Amino acid sequence: MTEPTTGPTAQADGITDEDRALFQQAANEGMARWLGVLQESCLESIILGRKFPLAEPEYNAKRPLALDAFEAALAGFKPERAREIDALLAARTVPEIRELMAGGRFSSVELVTYCVDRIRRYDVDRLNSVIELNPEALSIAAQLDQEQAKGKVRGPLHGVPVLLKDNIATGDRMHTTAGAYALRDWRADRDAFLVRKLRAAGAIILGKANLSEWAKYTDPCMPNGFSVIGGQTRHPYGPYDPLGSSSGSAVSVAAGLAPVSVGSETSGLLVEPARASGVVALRPSQGLISRDHIVPLDANFGCSWPDGPLGNRCGHPPDGDGRRRCQ
């Protein structure tokens, strides 16, 4: 005869119902403490709500967007041509953009110039989604155009401009700041692993996207999309919360400033701003893409993947280097 059990029931994973109840209680207590902090420090943000678009806070460390390297190209880029490329790129996926480039509809140099022109017109001191531009972007594009003309294609992103959230390190002339004053002048010693993979696939790193400073949660009152280096990221479609922390990544793609922008996520910080701006973001399973040389919000839970218009896919393969970590 089978005797009835008297202790807590163990599930297949070895966790008992009693354990689950304790975990849930701890989670509820943690949320209550967090709400208590919000109520004490910035009650208006949760009771009254913030009125968007947000004004720039009082600060003086915002880095002006340097356009010097693009002045000559921009001077020769006519509004009529900008409108033609607008029509060509409307709702295009990355493979379709590659087909247009291969067919001679525009070059990589022209595509980079087009993106910078839109950034100049729509982003500077307006959307604030781009925190820095790569001064070498045009020369890299010219090299990739030469390779294309000779029949050499590096990969599925050959000649395509890509923005990176500014917590992703690049070993070039750009800074990697996470939006923070403490890292204002820091340049990484090398590319993050995922940046190496993007370059190998032919991508042009166009610049860095703004973000919630330090990838968010450093201050309970911090508005989504604000960093002291990049300013306040604003929603591309009206007086709405852009959400965060990958605010600049989502807004830049929604505003047509770049075909693809890579963000990072810990607990919705990639997919939420993408949802708010009406673009697609893919959050990979943890461990699929290396978080090497990326400033994390949390050392254990972050992930990284591109934002893009409907249908866009970056498609670079798993790392394959034995460091299958994710940020």
Q: What is the pLDDT of residue 320?
A: 38
pLDDT digits (tens, 9 = 90+) for 264-319: 887 788 899 999 999 998 887 777 888 888 987 655 544 454 554 432 323 333 33
Please name the residues in contact with 87: beta carbons below 8 A apart, sequence gap of 6 or more.
none
pLDDT of 12 reads: 53
- Mean of pLDDT values over 16-30: 85
For residue 220 the two structure tokens come to 């309970």
Please tell me what DSSP assigns to residue 240.
S
31 domain-assigned? no
pLDDT at 15: 78
The first and second tokens of residue 70, run together, are 């693009």
Cα separation, 39 vs 47, in Å, equals 9
Which pLDDT tens digit goes with each residue over 101-140? 999 999 999 999 999 999 999 999 999 999 999 999 999 9
Residue predicted with more confidence, 56 or 214: 214
| Amino acid 318: pLDDT | 34
Which helix or strand (DSSP H or E) is residue 215 part of?
none
Structure tokens at 105: 């509809």
Q: What domain count does the chain have?
A: 1
Structural domain includes residue 282 = yes
* pLDDT interval class at 44 (50, 70, 90): low
CB 17 within 8 A of CB 9: yes
pLDDT tens figures, 232-257:
999 999 999 999 899 999 999 999 99
- Confidence grade of residue 46 (pLDDT, cut at 50, 70, 90): low
If pLDDT is split at 50, 70 and 90, which confidence band does 30 have?
confident
Instruction: Supply the range of the domain harboring residue 155.
Output: 61-308
H or E stretch at 307: strand 303-308
Residue 36: inside a domain, yes or no? no
Instruction: For strands 161-165 and 260-265, give the pairing.
Output: parallel
Does residue 315 form part of some domain? no
Q: Please give the share of the chain, as a percent, with pLDDT higher than 70.
A: 81
Residue 240 placed within a domain: yes
Q: Which residues contact 252 (CB under 8 A, 6 or more apart)?
A: 123, 127, 129, 130, 163, 209, 258, 261, 307
Contact 131, 175 (CB under 8 A): no
pLDDT of 239: 93
Tokens of 9: 């029931």
Q: How many CA atoms lie within 13 A of 261 on its CB side?
A: 34
C-alpha dist (Å) from residue 3 to 6, 8, 9, 10, 14: 9, 15, 14, 16, 21
**How would residue 166 be classed by pLDDT, with cut points 50, 70 and 90?**
very high
CATH number at residue 72: 3.90.1300.10
**Of 106, 129, 120, which is closest to residue 69 (Cα–Cα)?**
120
Mean pLDDT across the chain, nearest whole number? 85
Average pLDDT over residues 63-81: 97
Asked if residue 319 is part of any domain, the answer here is no
Q: Considering the domain boundaries, does residue 148 fall inside one?
A: yes
Domain assignment present for residue 16? The answer is no
Nearby residues of 233 by Cβ (< 8 Å), 6 or more positions away: 127, 128, 129, 210, 211, 224, 225, 226, 242, 244, 247, 248, 251
pLDDT of residue 48: 57
Q: Which pairs count as long-range contacts for 219-222, CB under 8 Å and 24+ apart, including other chains?
A: 220/34, 220/37, 220/38, 220/41, 220/42, 221/41, 221/42, 221/45
